[in-house]
Structure 1
């Protein structure tokens, strides 16, 4: 792509909302990431329905609240950058449909699993939760890797209004080597994040098996993350973005390196059985990785336009200044309330759990009493 010589010229509110959308996606991956990981690990850590029930109970009070971050991120994209939103539904319609199917399968599984005291019934819904979480994690990883790579788009000459662009690649073109690497990375990273969460939130058999799995899962995830960061920063680095200069390239590389270092520290902390620190650093890994990705997406929104005289950018894809001002006022009033409520809910459900906390027909005798995370 030939570099453009013109500056982006984005307004402060456009930059603010791009950063806020990046923050919302980061919050979603931080919180919902361990939800996905816990469900994907059902076959590995949950040998029977009771163990899987313990795993479900760790995320049961919070999983639906965590998904609010996804809805808010999507709503923010729709309201602040409608041109970006419409283009993504052109480019990623089938992947987004797969994500929707996976999220529905997860939600139905969590809600209906305990409706009948039958192991076959529970096993069926456990498979749905595992498959749904795996699909969502994989497809999101493929999608964000393609944002780093750059989705090829072209103006839609048939459009009657607006500034829509159409994806010029095919569905299978999304599953290129780098896209698949991103999908594998997200699955491994969420599984690691989820296993650390289980080690922090449970005691007994589930915690012991989580600690064992992390000994092999952690180093593999670090290796895949390192490869992803190297390829992203060298092959698809900030130099490919015409709106970024040398400082942004340095930020992208620094964020990538920090993500690898943070995950390495998390693995070492977990081996030392410092579960709290391990969870903090797996979360820091996700934050640093998303900073790297959204730094590359600045200005271009992760899109590569075929018409470089009229490319889609965060300037011409955004809403009017008046709309952005109203959205900013609304967000300043509502977001703190949502954050306070979610922090309170995590505080209320902070205790470790095991089979002892299950309903009577699922109780396993001789369990250790519950204790706080601390």
Structure 2
């Protein structure tokens, strides 16, 4: 099968699909046992909603919830209303709350692993707030989605990053929040590449010093913390932090550049996973994790490593726009009927970027139906004036 694709030099070349099939071969539908794995999941926009464009957009609830059921059917956990769902980039708090409640209502039992993000994003980005205001904002969001069954993910707060004068302010807010939440949480340290507004989180631009502050909190509240999702794209720092976590506290890798080796681990430990890239590569990821469950470390690497060039392309700088690539793959794979996003974010990556994504997805073996994917890619290029 061949398709004409544009290249960086403005010429068009003929690409022959490899048809590499990792998706439908020996697909496991069991929940991974050796690692806890969540996909941070995207939302499907409603392209026919006649709304004010400045509102961000409307959600196609049927398609959005169907995708979550699909992930659970594979054995993949769902992390809801995280940054992959365009939290803070088109998804309002009101929509996030509805998303959490609706998805939580789809959980069938403990086999459907479910986590959901709480933050302070209903606060005005331009308004100055006190530590007490930020604490109250976190608690408001937490209480607004109770009694949803799942693990709260305490997302990094732009308001706190803007307000805090030192690490003491972070520790003050987080310690009082953990005092009042009645179930174990996952902390989330989202780095500047994903959100420039979170620069100097934990009170320092030096990530090693910031890590010390975060570890001090975890040490004091280990019984209230299931784990921490680390999204810094710094594998060495992740390995260091992982080695220093109290027993029973998990490190969930959010490193979409180095996840195979971090999940595989070494004789000193390994990372669990809460990854945006697990949204588009879920079938392959579950099959790789099944190999790891069986003790076959090489089969794990052989299965998941071909997805790494795709992931590094999707999350390349400016990393915050990775959601566009995730949604484009969902469109190519038939999980949604269109390539539209909340807030018009489909325009945040170039045509060349998306053409290269198509090639890397084929080479990674994540195209469920290569013929459908090729026809949708061709239609997209025609709309862009490339025939």
Common fold by TM > 0.5: no
TM-score normalised over the length of structure 1:
0.30
Structure with greater Cα Rg: 1
